[in-house]
Structures are given as C-alpha cells and as structure tokens.
Amino acid sequence: MAKIEKIDVLISSPGRNYVTIKIQTSDGIIGWGDATLNGRELSVASYISDHVAPLLIGLDPDRIEDIWQFLYRSVYWRRGPITMAAIGGIDLALWDIKGKSVNRPVYQLLGGAVREKILAYTHTVGWDLAELKDALDKNLARGFKALRVQSGVPGLDSVYGVSQGKKNYEPASRGASAQLEVWDSGKYLRHVPKIIEGARNHVGDDIELLHDAHHRLTPIQAAQLGKSLEPYGLFWLEDVTPGENQEALKLIRQHSTIPLAIGEVFNTIWDFKDLIINQQLDYVRCSVMHAGGISHTRRIFDLAALYGIKFGPHGPSDVSPITMAASLHVDLATPNLGIQEFMGYPEVVSEVFTHAYSLKDGYLHPGDASGLGVDYNEKVAAKFPYAPAYLPYARTFDGTVTDW
C-alpha cells in the first residue's frame, strides 16, 4: 500500500493569487490540488498546512472517499467556504494521484466520457453597447457559442464584471484593502434589458447568452428582471438574489420562466438540497473545488439530475487551472452537464500551470493525460510571490454597505 508521505501548500501569484496543494506518495507520485479562495487565500492555506496535512501523513491515498468522510465528519465544525475549499483541494490532489497511479485520465475513472466535448461560455464585457458589440464579435471570432454579457450602467462608475476603460474583468485588486464601488439597483434594472436586447439583436438566435446579476437584487427586483429579460431567450440568469434567502427564488418563479442558475457561493449538498427538491433553480453553479472536490460535487449533480436540473460549474480565473481541469473531467463524464464557465487565464498563468485541457471552437476537453492533466511549475511559480489582493465591496449612494 502506498502512503501519503508529504503535503506542501504553495501560494503563488502569477497575476493573481493561487493556493496549490502538492501531495507526494511513498511510491513517488505527485498529486496537485487547488484550494484558492479569492481574498482569503492564507486562511485556507493555514487550515490545510496546520490542521489537515498532519492528519493525512501515512494514510492510503487510494482511499479518497474515506479521507473525504474523515475530513468532513471528524471535524465538529463542518461546512463553510474555508473548510470545504481545503477538503476540495485535497480531494482534487487525490484524484490526480489515483489517475496517475493507473495511468488514466480522471474522467475514465468516473465512468468514461458521456459526450465528445464540453460547451463553454466565456465573459464578454463592454462599458456601453457599442463596446459590448465589439467584444461579442471578438469572442464569436474565437469560436465561442455561448457568451456571458455584462455592461456598464449610466450613472455608475463601475459595475460587477466590467470597469470603465478596462478590457478584462479581474475584480480582485492588489493592496491591503478592498476597493469601494457605488451601486444602485434601480439604475441597473432600468438599463440591463436594453443591453441584453442589443446583444441578442447583434448575435442572432444561434448563440447562447447568459447574464450574472451577482446577488444584488431584492426578491421582487429579481422577479422584475426575470420578466423583463424573458423575451431575449437567455441560457440562464445567474445569482439574482443573495444566496442565503432561498425562499426568494419561489417568488421569482411565480413571475418568470427565465432559467435560474445559483450556487457559486454554496459549498455542500445541504446548501442545494431544498433548492433542488423544490425545483427552485435550473442550474447548479458550484465550483468543483469550493464544494468539496470531485467526490462531493458529483453527489450534488446526481441529486440535481433526479429533478431534471443541470449543472454549470463555476470557472472564473480565481480558481486555478487545476480546478478547471477537475471540472472538465466531471463535465465529460456526467450526463446532466449544462455548460462550463471558462473565463480563461492570462498567458503568465499557463507558464506556472501547464495543462492538457484544450479549447476548440467554443468547446473544451480535459485531454487524455493521466490524472487531472495539470502540472505546477514550482520554479516559475517562485517568481510570483503572494501579494495581498481583495475583491471590491459596495455601498449605495447614501453610504449603506450593500451586496457586491
């Protein structure tokens, strides 16, 4: 029996911070896991190196499920983003090891491919409609068949997903404190239907469009938004209200048939259970790492499948290519995939994380390298030390803190 011999937690910052787990086994295999939690990287790193790694030394890396149960159930204090990102990161590294130990890509260990390729959507941002149309054309030329659309709002200086003058959305800014953004839901609600209408007219009916409201609306505002966007045939409308009040989605359902996606801030099957069995959502949106890794997210997706609900894993640039690869292995092998988010990474990230996954004509594939198919180049990573960075936060015009 092989044993877990050494666990290192490595933090690097090729443009943004990533927490990478390196597990070495007694038979010489290295497994890579990602445990990045945007803006709280050091907490997850400490959770793993101080409290998890010492418990795992000497255990059998093949017993992925048993280790998962041990990390989840043997701790009295369960759930939460830090704990679950830590468990998720370890789970990813163990699946990587298992794949490498039998020389197979992880999707083969999950039952094999149920599709040839994975439909991806990417982010399309423009401060105004003219800029947005330009950005849509660029992403269509790259081959994407599905595009998330975010725009500026007149009267606001910055809006989730897009900043004036900046081409790319990368919200966490380096520095010791979070940047303030001023928000007004009324202005947003009156403007966004015009943008989505403009985007639909521009791309025609063959392209899927998505939009993320990023948890900012009250239930009735969210219902209004769903109703007003219905004519434009969105693939989904994401995170219309803050995740805590699950009842809100019932009210939205009473007024709109727009497909709802929710869950990037959820991290266990328990967070999704009522939403799924009450059919209050259409797409489960958790990250394959933040929700406890491959072992746990597969359970969530299977529960969703019982109710005809699909999944669309979270895939922003603030989870590393290791999580992206893990998502793709799950996507390829799980029947009820809806779509995969693929924000993409700046070039420098690919110098640190070399990967077997590929993107072609708007579709992704995890590749056939053994394990997850991502390697972490420690030498290159060492050139990019951790730098504190935080997501912005929001206040309304009267100075009240509101949801970002």
Q: With the C-alpha atoms ordered 256, 260, 265, 268, is the resulting torsion angle positive or negative?
A: positive
Among 211, 214, 216, 290, the residue binding ligand KDG under the rule CB under 6 A is 214
Burial class (CB in 10 A: 0-12, 13-18, 19+), 30: middle
Distance of closest approach, residue 24 Cβ to ligand KDG, in angstroms? 30
Stretch that binds ligand KDG, among 198-206, 314-322, 327-335, 375-383 (CB under 6 A): 314-322
41 binds ligand KDG (CB under 6 A): no
Which H or E element spans position 376?
strand 374-376
Task: Choose, from 123, 211, 214, 296, the residue flagged as catalytic.
Answer: 214
Residues 95-134: x where in contact with ligand KDG by CB under 6 A, - otherwise, as a string: ----------------------------------------
Q: Segment near ligand KDG (CB under 6 A), from 23-31, 70-78, 149-157, 311-319?
A: 311-319
| One character per residue 243-282, x = contact with Mg ion (rule: CB under 5 A) | ---------------------x------------------
* Residue 375 touches ligand KDG, criterion: CB under 6 A: no
Alpha-carbon distance values, 287 to 81, 176, 209, 291 (Å)? 11, 26, 20, 6
- Smallest separation (angstroms) from Mg ion to the CB of 261: 8
Q: Which is nearer to ligand KDG, 85 or 332 (CB)?
A: 85
In the complex, minimum distance from the CB of residue 170 to ligand KDG, in angstroms, rounded to a whole number? 10
Distances (CA, A) of 56 to 71, 290, 388: 9, 20, 29
CB 324 within 8 A of CB 330: no
Interface pick for ligand KDG out of 34, 208, 212, 271 (rule CB under 6 A): 212
| Member of 24, 38, 228, 295 binding ligand KDG (CB under 6 A) | 38
- Contact mark string toward ligand KDG, 333..362, x via CB under 6 A: --------x---------------------
- The conformational region for residue 32 under phi > 0 = left, psi -120 to 50 = alpha, else beta, is beta
CA distance 177 to 194: 34
264 binds ligand KDG (CB under 6 A): yes
Site membership for ligand KDG, residue 181 (CB under 6 A): no
Nearer to ligand KDG, 172 or 369 (CB): 172
**C-beta separation of 145 from 119 below 8 A:** yes
Our answer to whether residue 214 is catalytic in this structure is yes
Catalytic residue among 18, 47, 107, 160: 160
Residue 82 contacts by C-beta under 8 Å, 6 or more apart in sequence? 37, 40, 43, 44, 47
Q: Is 357 a catalytic residue?
A: no
- Taking alpha carbons only, the member of 37, 328, 249 closest to residue 311 is 328
Residue 19 or 240: which CB sits closer to Mg ion? 240
Q: Is the Cβ of residue 181 or residue 212 nearer to Mg ion in the bound state?
A: 212
Q: Strand, helix or coil at 137?
A: helix
- State which residue, 71 or 196, has the beta carbon closest to Mg ion: 196
User: Is residue 212 a contact point for Mg ion (CB under 5 A)?
Assistant: yes
Position 352: which residue type? V
C-alpha to C-alpha distances, 290 to 39, 155, 217, 259, nearest whole angstrom? 14, 35, 24, 23
Nearer to Mg ion, 53 or 234 (CB): 234
From ligand KDG, Mg ion, none, interface partner of 263 (C-beta below 5 to 8 A by class): none
Beta-bridge mates of residue 376: 353
Cβ-in-10-Å burial (0-12, 13-18, 19+) of 377 comes to middle
What is the binding site for ligand KDG (CB under 6 A)?
38, 212, 214, 238, 264, 314, 316, 318, 341, 391
Q: Which residues participate in catalysis according to the annotation?
A: 160, 214
